[in-house]
A and B are shown apart, each in its own frame.
Chain A
Amino acid sequence: MSTIEDPDVIVVGAGMAGAAISFILARAGAKVVCLEQGPTIHATDHPTFSDDWEFSVTRDWAFTPNTRDMPYDFPVTTNGTFVPYLYNAVGGSTNHYSGFWHRLKPVDFRKGTEHGLEGTIDWPISYEDLSPYYDQNDADVGISGVAGDLAYPPRPHAPRMPFVAHGEYHNIIASSLERLGLHWWPADNAILTQDRGDRLACNSCGQCNFGCPRGSLGTATQAYLKPALAYGLDLRPGSRVTQITVDRSGAADGVEYLNLENGTTTRLQANLVVVACNGLGSPRMLLLSKSPQHPEGLGNSHDQVGRYFMTHGYRLADMWFDRPTGHWKGPFGAGPYCQEWYDTDLGRGAVNGITITFGGAWGPAISALGATTRTHPAAWGSGHRTDFEKRFDRHVFCAIQADDLPVATNRVSLDPDVTDSSGLSAAAVHYDLHPNTRRLLEFGSSRLEEIGREAGALSIDLQPMDEAFAQPGWHLMGTCRMSSDPSTGVVDAWNRVWDTPGLIVCDGSSMVTGGAGNPTSTIGALALRCAERLLADMGHRVTASPDAK
């Protein structure tokens, strides 16, 4: 790997966005240093080689950094309404995701026009602006699926491998949706079903969310970092940026970072700094970087940093059957999806819409514990064996996913008391479930029960929406959002921070709306578009869409 002393660009964060930008810039000949506070994940680090793989979700492979509590994690405090999920490592949270691969739709970029509720504004770009980069990102990552979903604009330039095989649950649910006459489609997944270079086709092990040692899962590492290293990227794991530095004019001019392995602090200068630390980490980084020129933190002249946090309204459910579902094989969490109710219909008493996704999940231990919702664990004592047989190989994971509203008071700030292992303030998040989102989830719950009845489900356990309701915070969006006006966002249409020359923020925080689909595809596309503009501004050759590697 190269060691670069005088980089053109410093990229902070090696998740999907940081990796994609690093790759595009390095390939064009720019000198790029990418700093990542987490470690490199080796194929043998994944817990799926061990019989106790399910237990790892309670420890070092927990989805939330607050449980993992590793020295390279940063804690996230909340008001108890959601559980923050993210992963700090080379490759970011794509080490720990299902690869469920949705795009936003054209209407998602125009929600300000459609209703403008709460803090909703239009994106400064359109679906058509981003579409070529979605295609490019698809080619780079490697997507399996079925072309032709009428719920999306045509995607003739987005390559698809044959779609991935699922357990028996796929056909059970698909048949039900078909009989009900509802929209459904087999999910696109960032999972290879054919070998590609040194990446092996999926072998249906069933547990993508614990990382993929075969390289089948389209992680940021597989798609971008590995080729970027070949182009001279200087990737530095275990490097925790403590602040973005600025020159006298207030322009970004570098970073200071801490080597978590030996404790040394390094000052690194560059004319361009890219922050790609996810929807919680990026606003935290900007707020940590206070200076006389930016007393409220970078990008925060209009008090916009950290606002409009969205995480998708989510209500999870387990559907129980008296026949095999094969939930423990095939991909994790990404089978058929239904977008019958994606678009706004005021008859539902709410704007925006939902996606309902069905998937496989977990093995025998978590089945015994009541699967995803843990609502009805297998009895202990003499009834355990019978109860276990009613649970294992008998459930289907269901997720009602609602398009959340951007609300100004749903906000990331710095925790005054809790710090990471280096003494840097934790991210503190206040999030209240908006009544509009709650109505969508309740509406979706009724529809899910209808689908379950048609499928012959014995019962459905829905995550209780009581006072303790805390939805999974898988998707961290909106907190340094794009805008066409500096007073309503943090970055412009090219991810340039409005009030800080030389500083880019690009990741889930850039998203203005979240749609009702998983965001990694959008994050990757935004990063490729951003990188292309950076190259043009730097005077480097703008390259055409890369061939699939």
Chain B
Amino acid sequence: MDVSRSDRGGAADASAPAAGFPHPSRPGYYGTIFSEDMRSALALFASALIPGEGAYPSAADAQVVRFVEERSSADDRARIAALFAQGVGESADAAKELARTLESDRPAEFAWIRDFVYHAYYASRRVLAAMADSGHEYHGAPQPLGYVITEAMLVPVVPRGSYTPTDEVSHVND
């Protein structure tokens, strides 16, 4: 059986008080703290994935490190620390080389950190501002503003379709 979930441990004592009742409004802030080395490594690595271009900031300038740190569980922190255990190097080129190596040798790990960085980047206010400057209508949080759609929606010109009434259902071989 594929459990595909984190280990929750065995049976709890049903008579013991429950350990709180986390509410879904908690978006995953674990109070995890990165070391300065981790922050530096992640900043270099993330900016290798998404460098600045025109009005768009680099991942580091888009505060990606802060986003990832705030939303990392202890397991996530350990995973990131392991990724950068050998260091990222001192330069953007070294960070690119690490990204290339990860992508080819450890694709699942690379995809995981890439996804985290992309999520962080496109939630950044600086990036959203750059998108707006580029002509995108998207404004970040969907609510409370929503969007105004003025384009008329098409409806079928020639209605088509049919269904089989109950009393006309017969065996497929009949």
Chain B residues near A242: list those with CB within 8 A.
14
Max chain A CB contacts within 10 Å: which of B14, B18, B143? Answer: B143
Q: Determine whether the beta carbon of B153 is less than 8 Å from that of A171.
A: yes
B15 to chain A, nearest CB (A): 7
User: Does any Cβ of B come within 8 Å of A78's Cβ?
Assistant: yes
Separation in Å of the A56 CB from the closest CB of chain B?
Answer: 6
Q: Indicate if the CB atoms of A385 and B53 lie closer than 8 Å.
A: yes
A263 at the interface (CB under 8 A from B): yes
Q: Are A329 and B24 touching (Cβ within 8 A)? A: no
For B99, the closest partner residue in chain A by CB is A380
A50 to B163, CA, bound (A): 44
- Nearest-neighbor residue (CB-CB) of A166 within chain B: B153
The interface size of chain A toward B, counting residues with CB under 8 Å, comes to 117
B141-A204 in contact (CB<8A): no
CB pair A115 B171 closer than 8 Å: yes
On whether the beta carbons of A385 and B56 are closer than 8 Å, the reply is yes
Question: Which listed residue, B53, B153, B170, touches A165 by the CB 8 Å rule?
Answer: B153
- For residue B67, CB closer than 8 A to chain A, the reply is yes
Q: Say if the beta carbon of A262 comes within 8 Å of chain B.
A: yes
Given that A69-B6, A205-B142, A428-B1 are known contacts, is A126 also in contact with B166, CB under 8 Å in the complex? yes
A70 to B19, CA, bound (A): 12
Which residues on the A side are within 8 Å of B151 (C-beta)?
A: 165, 168, 171
The A-contacting residues of B in range 62-99, CB under 8 angstroms, are 67, 71, 96, 99
Chain A residue contacts of B4, Cβ below 8 A = 66, 77-78, 80
Q: List 11 A-B contacts (CB under 8 A).
A: A58-B119, A60-B27, A60-B28, A61-B24, A106-B164, A109-B166, A166-B153, A178-B154, A203-B146, A263-B14, A378-B118
A365 touches B122 (CB 8 A): yes
Known: A44-B25, A126-B166. 19 other contacts (CB 8 A): A46-B143, A48-B143, A49-B143, A51-B124, A54-B122, A59-B71, A75-B8, A77-B1, A77-B2, A151-B161, A152-B161, A165-B149, A178-B157, A261-B18, A329-B137, A364-B131, A380-B50, A417-B1, A418-B3
B146 to chain A, nearest CB (A): 3
Is the Cβ of A377 less than 8 Å from the Cβ of B24?
A: no
Question: Does B156 contact A42, Cβ atoms closer than 8 Å?
Answer: no
Q: Which residues of chain B are within 8 angstroms of A58 by Cβ–Cβ distance? A: 115, 119
**Interface size class of chain B, counting residues whose CB lies under 8 Å from the partner chain:** 35 or more
As a 0/1 sequence over residues 77 to 90 of chain A, the CB contacts with chain B under 8 angstroms (1 = contact) are: 11110000000010
Which residue from chain B places its CB closest to the CB of A84 in the assembled complex?
A: B4
List of 6 A-B pairs having minimum Cβ-Cβ separation, nearest first: A203-B146, A423-B11, A151-B161, A205-B142, A66-B5, A165-B149
Q: How far is the CB of B18 from chain A (nearest CB, A)?
A: 5
Chain A residues whose C-beta falls within 8 Å of the C-beta of B28 in the assembled complex: 56, 59-60
Known: A61-B24, A106-B166, A428-B1. A393 touches B121 (CB 8 A): no
Of A142-150, A305-313, A499-507, the segment with at least 4 beta carbons within 8 Å of chain B is A142-150
B1 pairs with A41, CB closer than 8 A: no
A279 interface residue per 8 A CB criterion: no
- Taking a contact as CB atoms under 8 Å apart, the answer to whether B169 and A114 are in contact is yes
Indicate whether A205 sits within 8 Å of B114 (C-beta atoms), given known contacts A54-B119, A115-B171, A380-B50. Answer: no
Pair B51/A186 contact, Cβ less than 8 Å: no
Q: Are A185 and B24 within 8 A (Cβ)? A: no
Smallest CB gap from B163: residue in A: A105
Which stretch (A28-36, A338-346, A489-497) binds chain B? Answer: A338-346
A-contacting residues, B132-158, CB 8 Å: 136-138, 140-149, 151, 153-158
The answer to whether A152 touches B147 (Cβ under 8 A) is no
- Is A281 located at the chain interface by the 8 A CB criterion? no
Q: Are A381 and B48 in contact (CB under 8 A)?
A: yes
Determine the distance from Cα of A84 to Cα of B21 in the docked complex, in whole angstroms: 23
